[in-house]
């Protein structure tokens, strides 16, 4: 009896659930039937033509993009295999085609940047070794063509190199001057110490050398020139004498010629 009672109870619950589901479905059907569909407004001929033209234009752009993409693939593949050619310039074009070049360049492991303003904005593709660094790009005015950007970059880099060289030269010169100023003191101190060890506290006295011996000390010399300067002065004097002799000879020859031409007339 208990089993039959349980079975009847389960059957009654199942029937109750099914009845609830049917009631819910009936309610939804009645609700949906009460909702009227929005009336469809027929398109005018102008709107229909406009939609058809937009679809045709989209299809045309898709075909043009695919053809252009195939062309750029071939060009950049050839450019990647060429040695000695660091970059490739493209003519100004619409953003749709510039986007294609950027995508294809990235696929080939190349770097691409756009320069200039519309409608003259164009793309330059670089091999990785020749691509400008982020610092270079920050120094460029990319609203100008690439050639102008490169000129600006070269001028900036040249100015930076000059500033660095000047700063380094100034530091080197300062260090050299300090070394030169310190060297005599060091030499003088070492010399004085050695001299004091040799002769004691007595200061050395410069010897007086008689002039009849054919030599004098440096501080007693009247001619302070070095040997090289003296030889140069001698050579200048010899050249001057030769020039004066040549001029005198030329004047004598001219006077003789004048006398010869005047004697028949006399």
pLDDT tens for residues 164-195?
Answer: 777 766 666 666 666 665 555 544 566 566 65
Give the whole-angstrom CA distance, residue 252 versus residue 43.
120
Q: Can you give the pLDDT at residue 100?
A: 92
Give the whole-angstrom CA distance, residue 142 versus residue 148.
9
Instruction: Give 130-159 pLDDT, tens digit per residue.
Output: 888 888 888 777 788 877 877 877 777 677
Determine which of 5-14, 72-81, 230-239 has the lowest per-residue pLDDT on average. Answer: 5-14
Instruction: Give 30-65 pLDDT, tens digit per residue.
Output: 766 666 666 667 778 888 888 889 889 888 888 988
Find all residues with CB under 8 Å of 51, minimum gap 6, and list them.
Answer: 43
Are the CB atoms for 88 and 125 separated by under 8 Å?
yes
Per-residue pLDDT averaged across 198-216, rounded?
56
Tell me which residue has tokens 């002799």: 245
Are the CB atoms for 119 and 79 separated by under 8 Å?
no
Query: In the structure, what pLDDT confidence band is assigned to residue 82 with cuts at 50, 70 and 90?
Result: confident
Find all residues with CB under 8 Å of 89, minimum gap 6, and list them.
Answer: 122, 124, 146
Are the CB atoms for 125 and 87 separated by under 8 Å?
yes
Query: For residues 94 and 140, which has the higher predicted lDDT (pLDDT)?
Result: 94
Would the pTM count as exceeding 0.85? no
Centre a 10 Å sphere on the Cβ of residue 222 and count the other Cβ atoms it contains: 5
3-state secondary structure of 123: strand
Query: In the structure, what pLDDT confidence band is assigned to residue 1 with cuts at 50, 70 and 90?
Result: very low
């Amino acid at each position: 009896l208990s089993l039959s009672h349980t079975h009847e109870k389960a059957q009654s619950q199942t029937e109750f659930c099914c009845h609830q589901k049917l009631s819910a479905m009936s309610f939804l059907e009645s609700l949906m039937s009460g909702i009227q569909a929005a009336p469809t407004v027929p398109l005018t001929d102008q709107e229909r033509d406009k939609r058809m033209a937009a679809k045709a234009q989209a299809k045309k752009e898709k075909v043009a993009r695919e053809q252009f993409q195939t062309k750029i693939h071939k060009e950049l593949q050839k450019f990647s295999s060429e040695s000695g050619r660091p970059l490739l310039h493209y003519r100004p074009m619409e953003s749709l085609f510039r986007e294609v070049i950027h995508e294809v360049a990235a696929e080939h492991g190349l770097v691409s940047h756009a320069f200039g303003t519309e409608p003259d904005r164009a793309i330059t593709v670089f091999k990785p070794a020749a691509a400008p660094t982020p610092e270079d790009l920050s120094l460029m005015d990319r609203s100008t063509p690439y050639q102008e950007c490169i000129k600006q970059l070269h001028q900036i880099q040249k100015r930076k190199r000059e500033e660095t060289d000047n700063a380094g030269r100034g530091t080197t010169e300062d260090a050299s001057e300090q070394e030169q100023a310190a060297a005599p003191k060091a030499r003088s101190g070492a010399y004085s110490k050695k001299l004091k060890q040799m002769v004691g506290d007595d200061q050395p006295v410069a010897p007086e050398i008689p002039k009849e011996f054919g030599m004098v000390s440096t501080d007693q010399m009247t001619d302070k020139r070095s040997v090289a300067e003296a030889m140069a002065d001698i050579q200048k004097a010899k050249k001057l004498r030769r020039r004066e002799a040549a001029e005198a000879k030329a004047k004598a020859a001219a006077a003789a010629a004048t006398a010869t031409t005047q004697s028949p007339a006399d």
